[in-house]
Amino acid sequence: MMFSAAAILSAVVAVSANPLSARSDTVFDVTEFEAGCIPHSSQCRYSFGVVQANNGETIPVQCVLLATANGGDLPNVTDAPCTDSSRTFSVVRGTEGLTLTVSQPVSPASNETGSHLLAASDLVTATQPNAEVESYEGPTSFPLVR
Ligand SMILES: *[C@@H]1O[C@H](CO)[C@@H](O)[C@H](O)[C@H]1NC(C)=O
Ligand SMILES: *[C@@H]1O[C@H](CO)[C@@H](O)[C@H](O)[C@H]1NC(C)=O
């Protein structure tokens, strides 16, 4: 079978135009992601901006949550609201790290969701005495994929 080099090249150029959304299964793009537990507090904070990928949305929806720490570790979160938006986010801890999922209703019967693994190797526990709290030290911008 023959492929047109020009067609392949133009497809590559189109996909490369937005590096954050290079994958066609990208649903949302996250920026300024922060997650950390607050020393000498029982609270952890998640904060990020999120835009829908590939639809021209430019002003990120802000998602911010203070949640009770799980013994100094970042806790699971279920359907936390984002500001002035129908989007919600969840965080689930597994053996490979924390999976961040953003969900947005598209009809009463279906949601559009995208997820990203925050690798366990990017989760750091501070070692100061009496302040053994976990925080995320990885990339702050990443796509959420189907
Ligand atoms: C977080 O959720 C996952 C999946 O439901 C579960 O396996 C895990 O035990 C939960 N972790 C905590 C600390 O609740
Ligand atoms: C859509 O997402 C919301 C919030 O996460 C959830 O409560 C609801 O059950 C989901 N609906 C479907 C059809 O998955």
Q: Coil, strand, or helix at residue 98?
A: strand
Atom 4 of ligand 1 has which residue's CA nearest to it? 92
> Mean pLDDT in the chain?
87
Domain boundaries, the chain: 23-145
From the alpha carbon of 75, which atom of ligand 1 is closest? 13
Residue 137 in contact with residue 122, Cβ under 8 Å? yes
**pLDDT, mean of residues 62-91:** 97
Q: Which ligand is nearest to the CA of 81?
A: 2
Q: pLDDT at residue 141 above 50?
A: yes
**pLDDT, mean of residues 118-122:** 98
Let me know the angle formed at the C-alpha of 97 by 95 and 101, rounded to the nearest 5 degrees.
Answer: 120
- DSSP letters spanning 20-86: GG-STTEEEEEEEEEEEEPTTSSEEEEEEEEEETTS---SPEEEEEEEE-BTTBPPPEEEEEPTTSS
Residue 6: per-residue pLDDT: 46
For ligand 2, whether the C-beta of 88 sits within 6 Å is yes
Pocket of ligand 1 (CB under 6 A): 70, 76, 92-93
pTM: 0.83
Let me know the angle formed at the C-alpha of 104 by 89 and 121, rounded to the nearest 5 degrees.
Answer: 35
Does domain 23-145 match CATH 3.20.20.80? Answer: no
Question: pLDDT per residue over 9-65, tens digit each?
Answer: 444 444 444 555 455 799 999 999 999 999 888 999 999 999 999 889 999 999 999
**pLDDT, mean of residues 79-96:** 97
